[in-house]
Amino acid sequence: MSGRIPVAGPSITDREVAFVLEAVRHGWYDQANAFQERFEQAMAKHVGLPYAVSLPSCTSALHLALLALRVGPGDEVIVPDLTWIGSAAPITYVGATPVFCDVDPVTLCLTPQAVEACVTPRTRAVISVDLYGAMPDYAALRALLWPKGIALIEDAAEAIGSTRDGVPAGGWGDLSVFSFHGSKTVTTGEGGMLLLRDPSLHATVLTLREHGRVPGGRLFWNEQVGFKYRMNGISAALGLAQLGRLGELVALRRQLWTWYRARLEPHGLAVNPEPPGLFNSVWMVTTLLPDLPKETMIRWLIAEGIDSRPVFYPLSALPAFEAWPSAQQARQRNRVAAQVSAGGINLPTAPVLSEAQVDRVCARLLTGLSTLRRKAA
């Protein structure tokens, strides 16, 4: 690694190399799906849901989840305003309307109160995002949604290894999705996973994933138009190796979080609160800068050889959604999402970083705050 401090990336050991080499050498012919099946079984066991389907991305997992639930035109799906567009874009793929909901100022996740204010007779599902490793009060969300017949989709893309009230991330939803992008705690290079409780939904997803061909059915006989949404065996082998190191990978990120807390909180900069009931796997160490635009600090850190990321912009503020009536309403309503986004940045959380590198990040961040505030005065 060069002298530049990266914001994200994987931890790769000889274990991952060995698994990938095995897949390259032997993952063909009658073993063509062996690593995908092993990865799916391991994820299902970890999360505690009976069915897991490996996919090329978390976005494709959300797409299939909505299709399996038969969400479509005329339906509404509630999604946090503060998240990556991949959490909301699949809603538009199926012709439904995304309803952008405000978030809690501590966890940056949905609250039952905010969700309830967005529910209408057209609400079919809620996509709840476990942002940066935090998780909302899922027991309260279930109590709100299930009596109304509204499906809960848990977007655990950023939270593998987190728990809420002892339940692993991904274990709360009717359906749950994960991302294995190269920046995530567990990576396949690029990939995703959909986990389900219902066997009929599972069967629907397997058919949709295979260009509409029923698994085990007549060869090249397509019952409907579906999608090419399969994970390859080499990626699955990498993910399986990483999942076996999950405890270690989470510990590396929480060590970084501990170092940041010790250096920044005495100066009034909080990072990733961990309220009662939450164990946070800390996908990204996040802090909120008082009275300083995030882009200003990001440029300062770049000049210092340090990469960082902006906390997500509210979806309702993006050009992609600005003309949607639901986005226009959200811009008037979602004060927390707007405030958090304005000054929020993700600090370097690559698991290969040393304590000395965290020292450097914190020193330059604090110097930047002082310098930039004086310039702005």
Do 242 and 187 touch, CB atoms closer than 8 A? yes
Give the model's pLDDT for residue 1.
Answer: 46
Give the model's pLDDT for residue 328.
Answer: 97
Do 300 and 354 touch, CB atoms closer than 8 A? no
Q: How far apart are CA 15 and CA 163, in angstroms?
A: 26
Ordered by start, the domain boundaries in the chain are 14-243, 246-376
Three-class DSSP labels, 45-56:
HHHCCCEEEEEC
Strand ranges (DSSP E) for the chain? 51-55, 76-80, 97-101, 123-129, 151-155, 163-164, 167-168, 175-179, 192-196, 278-279, 285-288, 309-310, 344-347
> Catalytic amino acids?
184
The residues near 86 (Cβ < 8 Å, ≥ 6 apart) are 57, 58, 59, 62, 157, 179
What is the CATH T-level fold of the domain 14-243, as seen in this structure? Aspartate Aminotransferase; domain 2 (3.40.640)
Place of tokens 């939450």: 278
CA 312, 316, 317, 323 torsion-angle sign: positive
State the pairing for strand pair 192-196/344-347.
Answer: unpaired
Q: Which CATH architecture has domain 246-376?
A: Alpha-Beta Complex (3.90)
First to last CA, the chain: 38
Phi-psi region of 217 (alpha: psi -120 to 50; beta: other; left: phi over 0): beta
* Tokens, residue 330: 């959200």
Q: With H, G, I as helix, E, B as strand and everything else as coil, classify residue 64.
A: helix
**Using alpha carbons only, how large is the chain's radius of gyration in Å?**
21
* Longest CA span, the chain: 72
Do 343 and 43 touch, CB atoms closer than 8 A? no
Do 351 and 253 touch, CB atoms closer than 8 A? yes
Run of H or E residues at 5: none
pLDDT averaged over 10-residue windows placed end to end, the chain, 377 residues: 87 98 97 97 98 98 98 98 98 98 98 98 98 98 98 98 98 98 98 98 98 94 97 98 98 98 97 96 96 94 98 98 96 97 97 98 97 83
